Amino acid sequence: KRSSNTKGDYSILTKYNTYIEAKTGDEPKFLVGEGLDEVIIDEIGLLKKECWGMALRPALADRMGKLYAVGTPKGKNWLYSLYKKGQNPLNLNWSSLNMPSSINPYLAKEEIEQMKEDMMEFMYRQEILAEFIEEAGLVFKGIRDWMLTDATKPITMVPYIYKEYNRECKYI
């Protein structure tokens, strides 16, 4: 049953008279509301950080609720910050796991090896090995290294575009 006129919002009333709601995270204002017992977010790295800070975090505080966040690393964004909280043994309210695709019993080892051959290295490391890659998604890879090199040495080839679908790299 639709719980509102907002696209992507649905709710289920269980036989125990509790609600399970599914909502879109397209806009933080759609998530503001009453206290929450549990929140499960799939692909949390794609969610706007404002959704967490403005809506979900305060709603969980009302009832000392729990967050279950699942996602693939997309660089070292705000998901990485949450992940690091869970890695800190002094932070007893947080826990985080890193689970590469290789532990998935339903994914054949041969498929993982084939993906390693078919994918760009940083994409494989991010999507399959579940690594937080600092430069994931950047157009200019290695730009920090270039900025920190000796400025008196000329740079002969600078990549300006990278086409993922066929691994082409053009130079200026």
pLDDT at position 135: 62
pLDDT at position 139: 55
Please give the mean pLDDT across all residues of the chain.
80
Residue 168 scores a pLDDT above 60 = no
Three-class SS string for the chain?
CECCCCCCCEEEECCCCCEEEECCCCCHHHCCCCCCCEEEEECHHHCCHHHHHHHHHHHHHHCCCEEEEECCCCCCCHHHHHHHHHHCCCCCCCCCCCCCHHHCCCCCHHHHHHHHHHCCHHHHHHHCCCCCCCCCCCCCCCHHHHHCCCCCCCCCCCEEEEECCCCEEEEC
CB 102 within 8 A of CB 124: no
- pLDDT tens across 45-88, in order? 888 889 998 999 999 998 999 999 999 988 888 889 999 999 99
- pLDDT tens across 11-35, in order? 888 899 888 888 888 888 888 888 8
Residue 28: closest CA among 6, 61, 5: 6
Residue 70: closest CA among 39, 37, 32: 39
pLDDT at position 24: 83
pTM above 0.75, yes or no: no
Residue reference for tokens 């992507």: 8
pLDDT at position 111: 96
Residue 21: closest CA among 31, 127, 29: 31
Residue 85: closest CA among 111, 62, 57, 117: 57
Residue 166 scores a pLDDT above 50 = no
